[in-house]
Amino acid sequence: MADSALNWKQKRTILTQEALRRLKNTSLELGHEVQCDNLSDFMLKLKDSGYCEKFRSEIIFSAKKAFDIIVENDQNGSRPIHRTREQMLSDKGARKSSGYNWWKKGDNENKYTTILYVPPTPNGELMKMLMKRESELN
């Protein structure tokens, strides 16, 4: 809804991504007319939700511009519109291995076994006390 509590920048981003999702999920072989029909339905929903014409046109312009870049990247072979299952699993594995054991890397290997989250206190007093005690124990 246009009168929801989100700010306009967030609404614009979210709605642009939704329009882009609709474009990406429409086969290119169906043609431009089917894409326009899908976006027209989306714009009608936005109109019913209270969004003005200017805002709706910004959404369409942004989504279409982003989609044109995606299609261009697909055509020149730099990035496909839709990733294969193998690519998704590969990306997932790369993300998992890159940040999963960050506290065990380098000189700190086997030094840390857990992470301690310290709630904020005035002037960081609790953190200072814990650091002092840790240095005494070490």
Q: What pLDDT score was predicted for residue 97? A: 64
Q: Are residues 79 and 113 in the same domain?
A: no
Q: Are residues 107 and 75 in the same domain?
A: no
Confidence of residue 49 (pLDDT cuts 50, 70, 90): very high
Q: Is 116 a member of any domain?
A: yes
Q: What pLDDT score was predicted for residue 107? A: 58
Q: Is 91 a member of any domain?
A: no
Q: Are residues 75 and 16 in the same domain?
A: yes
Whole-angstrom Cα distance, residue 5 to residue 117?
31
Q: Is 38 a member of any domain?
A: yes
- Residue, of 56 and 102, whose pLDDT is higher: 56
Our count of domains for the chain comes to 2
- 58 close to 12: Cβ distance less than 8 angstroms: yes
Q: What pLDDT score was predicted for residue 115? A: 78
Q: Are residues 15 and 56 in the same domain?
A: yes
Q: What is the mean pLDDT of the chain?
A: 87
Q: Does the pLDDT value for residue 22 go beyond 70?
A: yes
Task: For the full predicted model, state whether its pTM sits above 0.85.
Answer: no
Q: Are residues 69 and 109 in the same domain?
A: no
Model pLDDT for residues 86-116, shown as the tens digit of each residue: 988 888 877 766 655 655 566 555 566 677 8
Report the half-sphere exposure of 31 (CA within 13 A, side-chain side): 3
* Of the candidates 66, 68, 16, the residue with the CA atom closest to the CA atom of residue 43: 16
Q: Please identify, among 58, 85, 112, the residue that sits at the C-terminal boundary of a domain.
A: 85
* Of the candidates 71, 65, 66, 76, the residue with the CA atom closest to the CA atom of residue 27: 71
Domain that holds residue 28: 8-85
